[in-house]
Amino acid sequence: MDIKNIYCVGRNYSAHAKELGNQVPEEPMFFSKPSHSFVQGDNKKLSFPKDAGAIHYEVELVIVIKKEWEKGISLSDLIEKTALGIDFTLRDKQEEMKQKRYPWLISKGFPNSAAVGSYSPFSEKDWEDIRFSLYQNGVKKQEGSPSQMIFPLRELVDFTGEHFGLGPGDLIFTGTPEGVGPVKDGDELSLIFNKKEAGTFKIMLN
């Protein structure tokens, strides 16, 4: 797939915002990742720099856009498929950038930082019922559902389309629930989508 824009929603689960000591936003808060940060597949090995400080996992539902956004378009016409992904974050670097009031890109846009597992067809009627989780070495660390999102999918896609543009090949990472944490060399991260495995990633720190 030819990936174009990668849009990411920050602080879309109130418990996650609070666990990092952040305020809950009053409107969707977006950042982006370069297309070079994208990696997709199952049983993938992900290489990260070992001297970059804490690297945190953040599991998220990801939607794949198949058509140009226009006001009033249905979600079913706009979205092709969905998947679970991990928004990897250089947490120490992010905190440094926040303190300096600099952009976050260096902490969010590094290679392999937008990892996406296997795809599933998008179903608007079943979207709110999705349950997903992330396991680190067999231990559940995160779980969530779109029903817990501060900003629902309709609002997210309309906000994105209106402010940034939205078209075929674009991805939206829709936010992470609480439970984010650091990875270490050799970790295995497993994604579970509605009780089924949806991707496994092996961490290598070099």
Domains and their CATH numbers in the chain: 6-42+54-131+140-183 (3.90.850.10)
Strand (E) or helix (H) holding 97: helix 91-100
**How confident is the model at residue 20, as a pLDDT?**
62
Percent of the chain with pLDDT over 90: 89
Asked whether 145 and 132 are in contact (CB, 8 A), the reply is yes
Among 20-29, 66-75, 183-192, 193-202, where is mean pLDDT lowest? Answer: 20-29
Average pLDDT rounded to a whole number, residues 193-198: 95
**How confident is the model at residue 42, as a pLDDT?**
85
Q: How confident is the model at residue 19 (pLDDT cuts 50, 70, 90)?
A: low
Which amino acid does the sequence have at 69?
Answer: W
Strand (E) or helix (H) holding 159: helix 153-163
Asked whether 149 and 13 are in contact (CB, 8 A), the reply is yes
Average pLDDT rounded to a whole number, residues 144-152: 95
Average pLDDT rounded to a whole number, residues 12-27: 73
Asked whether 63 and 79 are in contact (CB, 8 A), the reply is yes
Q: Which residue has the tokens 């629902």?
A: 152
Q: Tell me what the pLDDT averaged over the chain comes to.
A: 94
Report how far residue 41's alpha carbon sits from residue 198's, in angstroms, rounded to the nearest whole number.
9
Q: What is the pTM of this model?
A: 0.95
Q: How confident is the model at residue 23 (pLDDT cuts 50, 70, 90)?
A: confident
State yes or no: pLDDT of 17 exceeds 80: no
Name the DSSP class of 104. Answer: S
Average pLDDT rounded to a whole number, residues 184-206: 97
